[in-house]
Amino acid sequence: MIHVCRGAWLVVLAIPLGLGAGAVDAALNHYVAENYKAHHMNWLHCFWGVGATMGPIIMSSYIADHNSWRSGYTAVSIIQFSLVIILLITLPLWKRVAAMREIDRPQTENVVDNEKRQQEQIVKAGIFRIRGVKPTLTAFLFYCGVETTVGLWGASYLVGAKHISADTAAIWISLYYGGITLGRLITGFITLKVGNRLLIRYGQLITILGAIILVLPLSASFSLTGFMLIGLGLAPIYPGLLHETPSRFGKEHSAKLMGYQMAVAYTGTTLLPPMFGLVASQTSIGLFPSVVLAFLIFMWLSAEKVNRILSKQANQGT
């Protein structure tokens, strides 16, 4: 009975934890997209990778030393409360930076013209009927779906289909996440010379190449190359899509769209991996590369559809 009550409380408390994380994610990405450059967005998500790597290390070390998960959660809660204090103290600085960016932003930039067109469309049709919004949301759905599917099921595929030891499989998947983190660090510098649209496109092509390597009947050693290519290719896509939101759909409504994008992204994270798990349980884990490739192709087609819509609008505007 006690274990059931504890489990129920764990589920209940997970809800505000998720709501808070989603609110922070949407607000922080919106702030960076509006007030900073593309390289800042990539470095922001690069440090997400650092945090995602540190979390399991913190938990495993406390469990090993104290034989209790509570100490690990206590350490994480201390970090979270420290972040809250830092954010509250620096809140005036955030407002000051936003005001400075607004003054320095050129009024003749293409964002303004695009925003006016989007504003007219919103008034007439509603935000979901703006051209480009739906395929953008689809791209977010499949991006987070494939990122999480690879992270959760990649090791099972390596063990079950490639007959690699569990320890080696875990290391290879950690290198996949390392590829995402390192890729975002490098992409931050590349964005100083190359635009987001090209980086997103190149990243998608690299991920598809990595998935093709996994699909081909090659030796197990090639699987590591495939996973690392997928990680490196995924690196610029998510930050790039987020940073493009104000310029694509107008900064006046980017906050609302950022929230929708986060919601759809988390939907992909929540639904697609268990859907694959259900299919794999009824068939074979060997379907993993084909499913990943299909997710990546859907993401690529959605992103390219948005590019075609924007190009057409730009041509009509000129």
pLDDT digits (tens, 9 = 90+) for 38-54: 888 888 888 877 777 77
Is the pLDDT at 110 greater than 90? The verdict is no
Amino acid at 27: A
Tens digits of residue pLDDT in 88-105: 898 888 878 777 766 655
Out of 64-73, 89-98, 197-206, the most confident range is 197-206
Is the pLDDT at 85 greater than 50? The verdict is yes
Output the average pLDDT for the chain. 83
Is the pLDDT at 1 greater than 60? The verdict is no
d(CA 90, CA 95): 9
> In the chain, what are the domain boundaries?
21-97+130-310
Per the listing, tokens 């504003």 go with: 119
d(CA 205, CA 147): 15
Higher pLDDT, 30 or 218: 218
d(CA 156, CA 39): 34
d(CA 185, CA 46): 6
How confident is the model at residue 157, as a pLDDT?
95
How confident is the model at residue 47, as a pLDDT?
83
Output the DSSP codes for 134-187: HHHHHHHHHHHHHHHHHHHHHHHHHHHTS---HHHHHHHHHHHHHHHHHHHHHH
Q: Compute the average pLDDT of residues 144-155.
A: 94
Is the pLDDT at 112 greater than 50? The verdict is no
CATH topology of domain 21-97+130-310: Growth Hormone; Chain: A; (1.20.1250)
Smallest Cα–Cα separation from 147: which of 188, 119, 176? 176
pLDDT band at residue 300 under the 50/70/90 scheme: very high
Rg of the Cα trace of the chain? 21
